[in-house]
Amino acid sequence: MSEWIKVGLESDLTENVCVFDFKGKPVAVFNLEDGFYAIDNICSHEEASLAEGEIEDGKIECPLHGAMFDIRTGKNLSLPAVLPVKSYPVKIEDGNIYLKTED
C-alpha cells in the first residue's frame, strides 16, 4: 500500500532543488515554475549527485558526464545514461513536503 511520507519542509527549498532522505535514499526535490517534482538524486549512469547539476528548461544535467534527465518524469534524455531515474509524486501540505511510496 502506498503512503505519503514527510521528508522535509517547504522552507528547506531555498534554491530550486534540495536533497532529502526518503526511506534511506537521497531524493532530489525540485521547485519548477509549475510545481514540485522529485527524482532519485543518484544518476542512473554512475555515482553522481544530480542536484549538483545545471537545471535548464525542466531538465537536469548530470554534473559528472552530462547526461540529461527530465525532472518531471525522471526519463533519461541523453547519453551516457541509458536508464531513467525514479520519480515520485510530491505534495506540499502545511509547509511540509511529502513524497509518495510505491504501492
Q: For binding to ligand FES (CB under 6 A), which residues are involved?
A: 43, 45-46, 48, 62, 64-65, 67, 80-81
| Closest CB 68 distance from ligand FES, rounded Å | 9
Which of 59/65 has CB closer to ligand FES?
Answer: 65
Q: How far is the CB of 10 from ligand FES (least distance, A)?
A: 28
Give me the sign of the Cα torsion angle 85, 31, 27, 19: positive
How long, in residues, is the chain? 103
Q: Could you say which DSSP state residue 101 is in?
A: P
CB of 18 closer than 8 Å to CB of 8: yes
Shortest Cβ 80–ligand FES spacing (Å) = 5
Q: Which is nearer to ligand FES, 51 or 81 (CB)?
A: 81
Nearest residue (CB) to ligand FES, 79 versus 101: 79
Residues 52, 92: Cα–Cα separation, whole Å: 23
